Amino acid sequence: MVGARHASPLHGPLSGWNMETVAVRPRNREAAIRANRVVLSLSRHWLWAFLFVWGVYVWLPWLAPIFKQAGLETPARVIYAIYSTQCHQLPQRSFFLFGPQPMWSLEQIRAVWPAGNDPLRLREFVGNAEMGYKVAWSDRMVSLYTSIWFGAVVFGLLRGRVRPLRWPWFVLLVLPLALDGTSHFISDLAGIGQGFRDSNAWLAALTNHALPAWFYAGDALGSFNSWMRLISGVLTGLGVVWFAFPYADQYFQEVATTIEAKFQRAGVAV
């Protein structure tokens, strides 16, 4: 029929283009093609994009102590300030770089930083030349978010061979962090260093004091609290990747296939 408008072979971001509109609005068509190319590229390389963006997020806190050690106060303060919105930054639960030991007890920190039981004052301590400087977020954040990054790397190596984790198993992997984090929160309500998770007397009694005293009390590296934060963080991080990434990969593959088909129908080179 004369004057009939033919259906366009392009849909989505490229929809609505017929022979008349292509002739009249070539700039809009080119803009739509460019937009689809961006989405196509992201769909093909979404994992690399994630590794880059998430990598910046999880490795930037380690630059804060490096900057402090190098005497670059301003960038160090900026990083500490940014991540103070993400984490409690309590020094007794943080890793330290450039010092004689990777973590310090609450008593050792109070000896040089008299903050009492005030967590807001305590979190301001970033270290010194003798003790080293703390990473900009806690050991739990390190274990949780860094394990997601490493899990994504492993997923990339096993891509196409990993089935999504079933949700009951995902819940099981997240449960230790939920229990450990909640119990720490409740314990800290009694005051920093005063709660049941600081002495872990219940665990000592449960195990009949079979392990050294330093294992039960405090947050030092190798203590029960330290192991629980590290293990529960890793389990949750890997669970997130195993549960979500196969679905994400399938979704982006479908998006890429759809755009490639649209380009083919429209005679646009992929």
Q: What is the pLDDT of residues 181-205, one digit of tens each?
A: 999 999 999 998 899 999 999 999 9
Contact by Cβ (8 Å): 83, 61: yes
| Distance of alpha carbon 39 from alpha carbon 24, whole angstroms | 25
* Per-residue pLDDT tens digits for 79-120: 999 999 999 999 999 999 999 999 999 999 999 998 877 899
**Which tokens sit at 16?**
């609505």
* Dihedral pair phi/psi, residue 264, rounded to 5°: -65, -45
> How far is the first Cα of the chain from the last one, in angstroms, to the nearest whole number?
33
What gap in Å lies between CA 207 and CA 184, rounded to an integer?
Answer: 20
How far is C-alpha 127 from the chain's CA centre? 24
Q: What is the pLDDT of residues 213-240, one digit of tens each?
A: 999 999 999 999 999 999 999 999 999 9
Cβ-contact 143, 235 below 8 angstroms: no
| Cβ atoms of residues 35 and 13 within 8 Å | yes
pLDDT digits (tens, 9 = 90+) for 143-186: 999 999 999 999 999 998 989 999 999 999 999 999 999 999 99
**Global pTM?**
0.86
* pLDDT score at 28: 83
- Per cent of the chain over pLDDT 90 is 79
One-letter identity of residue 94 = S
pLDDT for residue 27 is more than 90: no
Neighbour tally for 34: CB within 10 Å: 11
Measured CA to CA, the distance from residue 1 to residue 73 in angstroms comes to 74
In whole angstroms, give the CA distance from residue 180 to residue 66: 30
Place of tokens 């949750």: 236
Read off the pLDDT band of 25 (50, 70, 90). low
Average pLDDT of the chain, as a whole number: 90
Q: Would you state the pLDDT for residue 23? A: 47
DSSP code, position 105: -
The pLDDT of residue 20 is above 70: no
Position 32 scores a pLDDT of 86
Q: Does the structure show a pLDDT above 70 at 24?
A: no
Do residues 93 and 229 lie in contact, with contact meaning Cβ atoms separated by under 8 Å? yes
Task: Quote the pLDDT of residue 117.
Answer: 78
Q: Which residue has the higher pLDDT, 14 or 88?
A: 88
User: How is residue 91 written in tokens?
Assistant: 């020094």
Check pLDDT > 60 for residue 41.
yes
